[in-house]
Amino acid sequence: MADELYLENIDEFVTDQNRVVTYKWLSYTLGVHVNQAKQMLYDYVERKRKENSGAQLHVTYLVAGNLLQNGHVCHKVAVVREDKLEAMKSKLSTVSSVHVYSVQKALLKDSSPLYNTDYDIVKTNLQHCSRFSAIRCAAAVPRTPAEAPPAPAQSPRSQRDPGAAGTLNGHGPPAAKAPPQQHKGIMGMFAAKAAAKAQDTPKEAKAEAKEAPGVSAASSKPPTKNNIMNNFFGKAAMNKLKANSVPEQPKEEKEVVKPSVAVAEPESSPNTVAEKPGKKAESARIQQKDKKSKTKRADRSDDEEERDPENVKKKRKRIKQLQSDSSDDEDVPPSPTLEEERAPSPPPAPAPKAELEPASTEVAAGARKRKRKRVLKSKMFIDEEEGCMGKAG
Amino acid sequence: MFSEQAAPMAQGLLAPPSAEPPTFPRVPVSGYLDCSQPFQLGERGFSRQYAHIYAVRLAGMRPGLERRAQSRWGDDIVLRKLSELQAGEKCCVVGTLFKSMQLQPSILQEISEEHNLVPQPPLPKYIQPSDELMLEDELQRIKLEGAIDVQRLVTGTILAVYGCEQDDGRFLVEDHCFADLPPPLPWNGPSSDRFVLLASGLGLGSVSGEALLSTQLLVDVVTGQLGAEGEQSCAAHITRVILAGNLLSQNTQSRDTINKAKYLTKKMQAASVEAVKMLDEILLQLCTSVPVDVMPGEFDPTNYTLPQQPLHRCMLPLASAYATLHLVTNPYQASLDGVRFLGTSGQNISDIFKYSSMDDYLEILEWTLLAGHISPTAPDTLGCYPFYKTDPFILTECPHVYFCGNAPHFQSKLLQGKEGQRVLLVTVPDFGATQTACLVNLRDLTCQPITFSGFGADSED
């Protein structure tokens, strides 16, 4: 029966899995209204204690009410252990609500497990966090895209740029201006080639990873791009960026170009977009790049190649792979966001695909270097671990 | 009072599951008007000097003060500028106060090599018995003495003094007055209970996690997850939440990255990044259920000078997808259901606290209302944008609710003015330290604190 089912479930959670079952956790797990969850917990406790008075069951309650404090009537909301329930109730002048907050096997020393349980379950249900609540707000509707000005539309694209912006921007996040300018020049070059090719993006992604030939085309491009970069960067930056720029540019361009629906028109928007979200992931990327500074090209090209195979499959694991091979704690935020952007990228097919073609050739160039640099890369990885300064950005 | 009518149903949830439990619709805000346009800066230029802001402040407040002076000391009193003063003549002068304090931190002293001084550590108060008051107007200044409380007043206040100039060039004050309460706004408040929750100093990103459960409890009460049915239906009457600053804790402000060598800090992430992510999640939970106004504070990632501009939407990607999230300026002014709110995140009050003998935040809050200016110490000791056309901190209308955030504890007072003004003064306590927020009832302008607590190993409950 449905009635008995929840009792069994709660029993399983509490005794078998040894969980701290808060009303909120139960509400999300069973998909019921929060008040029902509270009542279920109460029912479970009552029945369990009736059957087996020695049952190892500890309960925390929520008590709320008015309290006279410092001369004014204060509304107090407190989570208390069962043994302190009556004491708290007697302290309050009027009790406005009492209900079960959580049930668990062990006696809790403090309320942090309660907080952690709630935090975890809410984190996994962020999109529907008010679904089982007792209050519905009619005004809480997501903004329509029209209301929310450029930022959301640009954010998918922007977040795809962080790799580009970060690595190009060898001297740190603040110089976000330079990458956009570079993109303009580079994308201008791509726009010329845009007409030439139009194929599957996924297929191209595959091709990027595996194509060996076509390097010549790639090699001709980097020098010209370097010139463009020279224009934007000062001499000091150039030395640092030279090594980075060549393998970087093609890959970054590919990334940059991918998201933009039409390369020609919103040059400004990807650029501006690149700045903001780019900054956040830029710092992550820059840290990545800085870490690999010993063997600049190798790492980056390796990373790119790591990314490309994933790119082939789902464009989803890309970041995860990146995290696993580069540093222990790559920051997670770029990954979900980047995943989102991967999704929009297939739809805007024609222009990006065109750009992918030339990019793929450059990737192939990197692919060629892969064999040579693999050993270096692993060495560097070890070095990284040793030299790791605690939490990485 | 909040949830008093919930008492009969208090134990309702200590029972086996019943049929479909009720859901209560959130009481909508019938009229919301954001009146904080004067505090929103568009293009900002910092090439002007700060003398202009004092000039417009004096020019803006002079007419009102002259009227006040005449009503207080008689219509026939002589109003003089400092340049027209005659020795021995009783007259009234309107001007800006300047308090010269020996302990006031001065950047010139700090960098002065002759003195070889170690910079002065921050003190709780910078007042000293040797401080002196001076009155300045457009052209001149004069030292004040007499029936005026030097310790209590702060630089930047516009006031009118009545007295006469002495032979030694000082002005002997017999009486002084401020601009007093601004003219009242008509009252269009709601006829049924509507609550606004004021909270400040959430302090996310701090090292200690004690306040985290309390923050979660606060969100749960407001979103209607916590509490028995009576309490939830009362919580549905909370029409708005205003977070008055310091959403991030002071711990996120570590400046180590500037001092440490680059190779040590390269892999470090600013503490504020994690804290902002946590803030985003909390705001998302709130925004799916209630309109929220988020004001920046002293430790939040926005500009330092007043008026602080709203936090940028890109930092809160999850929550800003909802139309119920409003990122607003500090100070913030808005009209909710016909009730005018005006408040700051507390920097103005705490700055006056440092340079005045007044100790009580509520007293200082009331004093700023009577002085007719939200933050007289800006730009002297509190960073301020160099306004030159108007001073937006001058109070031109009397708000119905006047609050300041990040106070050490909760206080509230209903102030009645001579012209029919009714103002509820609220000092919103720092939630990270006190786990207390405030519920303002718009119907009758009363305020109730709401405290949250968990249990710890060493607490008695």
Q: What is the pLDDT of residues A205-220, one digit of tens each?
A: 444 444 444 444 444 4
DSSP state of B102: T
Instruction: Give per-residue pLDDT as tens, A61-86.
Output: 989 998 888 778 899 999 999 888 89
Residue of B nearest to A64 (CA): B227
| pLDDT at B372 (0 to 100) | 92
Q: CB count, 10 Å around CB of A23? A: 29
Asked whether residue A28 is assigned to any structural domain, the reply reads yes
Average pLDDT score, chain B: 87
CA distances from B396 to B69, B330, B363, B365, B384 (A): 18, 17, 20, 16, 19
The CATH number covering residue A73 comes to 3.90.1030.20
Residue B166 pLDDT > 60: yes
The answer to whether B414 faces chain A, any CB pair under 8 Å, is no
Rounded to whole angstroms, the Cα distance separating B303 from B305 reads: 6
| pLDDT at B5 (0 to 100) | 64
Rounded to whole angstroms, the Cα distance separating A166 from B364 reads: 48
Q: CB count, 10 Å around CB of B158? A: 26
Helix A296-313, helix A268-291: angle, nearest 10: 120
Please name the member of A67, A126, A139 whose beta carbon is closest to the beta carbon of B324.
Answer: A139
Q: Identify the CA nearest to B269 among candidates A392, A166, A330, A162.
A: A392
Residue A288 pLDDT > 90: no
Rounded to whole angstroms, the Cα distance separating B95 from B134 reads: 9
Residues within 8 A of B (CB atoms), A 185-214 only = none
Cβ–Cβ pairs < 8 A, chains A and B: 268
Contact A276 B314 (CB under 8 A): yes
Contact A66 B235 (CB under 8 A): no
Asked whether residue A232 is assigned to any structural domain, the reply reads no
Are the beta carbons of B128 and B167 closer than 8 angstroms? Answer: no
Residue B440 pLDDT > 90: yes
| pLDDT at A32 (0 to 100) | 87
β-strands B195-199, B238-244: how paired? parallel
Residue of B nearest to A28 (CA): B225
Asked whether residue A103 is assigned to any structural domain, the reply reads yes
Q: CB count, 10 Å around CB of A36? A: 22
Residues within 8 A of B (CB atoms), A 55-74 only = 60, 62, 64-67, 69, 72-74
Task: Find the length of chain B.
Answer: 461
Contact A138 B28 (CB under 8 A): yes
Rounded to whole angstroms, the Cα distance separating B157 from B97 reads: 5
Give all strands of the β-sheet with B292-295 in edge-to-edge order: A21-22, A94-104, A58-69, A72-81, B446-453, B436-441, B195-199, B238-244, B292-295, B325-327
| pLDDT at A284 (0 to 100) | 44
Q: Which residues of A touch B24 (CB under 8 A)?
A: 134-136
Distance from CA of B375 to the nearest CA of A (A): 29
Confidence band, pLDDT 50/70/90 cuts, at residue A189: low
β-strands B411-416, B401-407: how paired? unpaired
Q: Which CATH class is domain B2-7+26-43+183-253+268-451?
A: alpha beta
The answer to whether A343 faces chain B, any CB pair under 8 Å, is no
Q: Which helix (H) or strand (E) holds A113?
A: helix A112-124
* Helices within B168-323 (DSSP H only): 210-223, 229-235, 256-259, 262-265, 271-287
Contact B220 A76 (CB under 8 A): no
Contact A111 B456 (CB under 8 A): yes
Q: Which residues of A touch B321 (CB under 8 A)?
A: 142-143, 148, 152
Instruction: Give per-residue pLDDT as tens, B394-408.
Output: 999 999 999 999 999
Q: Which residues of A touch B285 (CB under 8 A)?
A: 122, 126, 129-130
- Provide the Cα torsion B173, B174, B178, B183; round to 10°: -150
DSSP state of B277: H
| pLDDT at A240 (0 to 100) | 52
Average pLDDT over residues A114-133: 85
Contact A66 B1 (CB under 8 A): yes
Query: Phi/psi of residue A328, each to 5°?
Result: -60, -55
**String of DSSP letters for A164-175:** HHHHH-TT-TT-
Contact A42 B28 (CB under 8 A): no
Tokens of A166: 């970060």
Tokens of A13: 């959670």
The answer to whether B1 faces chain A, any CB pair under 8 Å, is yes
CATH of domain B50-104+124-177: 2.40.50.430
Residue A258 pLDDT > 70: no
Q: Sort B333 into a burial class: Cβ within 10 Å, 0-12 / 13-18 / 19+.
A: buried
Q: CB count, 10 Å around CB of B139? A: 8
Q: CB count, 10 Å around CB of B260? A: 13
Q: Sort B324 into a burial class: Cβ within 10 Å, 0-12 / 13-18 / 19+.
A: buried
Contact A43 B14 (CB under 8 A): no
Confidence band, pLDDT 50/70/90 cuts, at residue A344: very low
| CB proximity list for A380: less than 8 A, separation 6 or greater | A292, A294, A295, A298, A299
Residue A308 pLDDT > 80: no
Residue B91 pLDDT > 50: yes
Mapped onto helix, strand or coil, the DSSP state of residue B97 is strand
| pLDDT at B7 (0 to 100) | 66
Residues within 8 A of B (CB atoms), A 346-385 only = none
- Sequence ranges of the domains in chain B: 2-7+26-43+183-253+268-451, 50-104+124-177
pTM attached to this predicted model: 0.69
Contact B231 A283 (CB under 8 A): no
At residue A82's C-alpha, the angle toward residues A76 and A84, to 5°, is 55
Q: Domain range spanning residue A88?
A: 1-125
Q: Please list, residue by residue across A245-278, b when 16 or more beta carbons sit within 10 angstroms of its beta carbon and e when fewer do.
A: bbbbbbbbbbbbbbbbbebeebbebbbbbbbbbb
Number of domains in chain A: 1
DSSP state of B47: -
Rounded to whole angstroms, the Cα distance separating B424 from B335 reads: 14
The answer to whether B454 faces chain A, any CB pair under 8 Å, is yes
Question: Among the ranges A317-321, B39-43, B246-250, B408-412, which has the highest mean pLDDT value?
Answer: B408-412
Are the beta carbons of B349 and B368 closer than 8 angstroms? Answer: yes
| CB proximity list for A285: less than 8 A, separation 6 or greater | A162, A163, A165, A166, A167
**Best of A49, A104, A111, A337 to mutate (most B CBs within 10 Å, chain B):** A111
β-strands B32-34, B332-336: how paired? antiparallel
Residue B274 pLDDT > 80: yes
Please name the member of B25, B228, B451 whose beta carbon is closest to the beta carbon of A76.
Answer: B451
Q: Identify the CA nearest to B134 among candidates B85, B100, B158.
A: B100
| pLDDT at B244 (0 to 100) | 93
Instruction: Give per-residue pLDDT as tens, B276-324.
Output: 998 999 999 999 889 999 999 999 989 989 899 999 999 999 888 888 9
Asked whether residue A43 is assigned to any structural domain, the reply reads yes
Tokens of A110: 């403090």
Q: Which helix (H) or strand (E) holds B331?
A: none
Q: Which residues of B touch A148 (CB under 8 A)?
A: 320-321
Please name the member of B7, B15, B289 whose beta carbon is closest to the beta carbon of A42.
Answer: B15
Peptide bond between residue B307 and the one before it cis (omega within 30 degrees of 0): yes
Contact A389 B461 (CB under 8 A): no
Q: Identify the CA nearest to B156 among candidates B50, B310, B25, B32.
A: B50
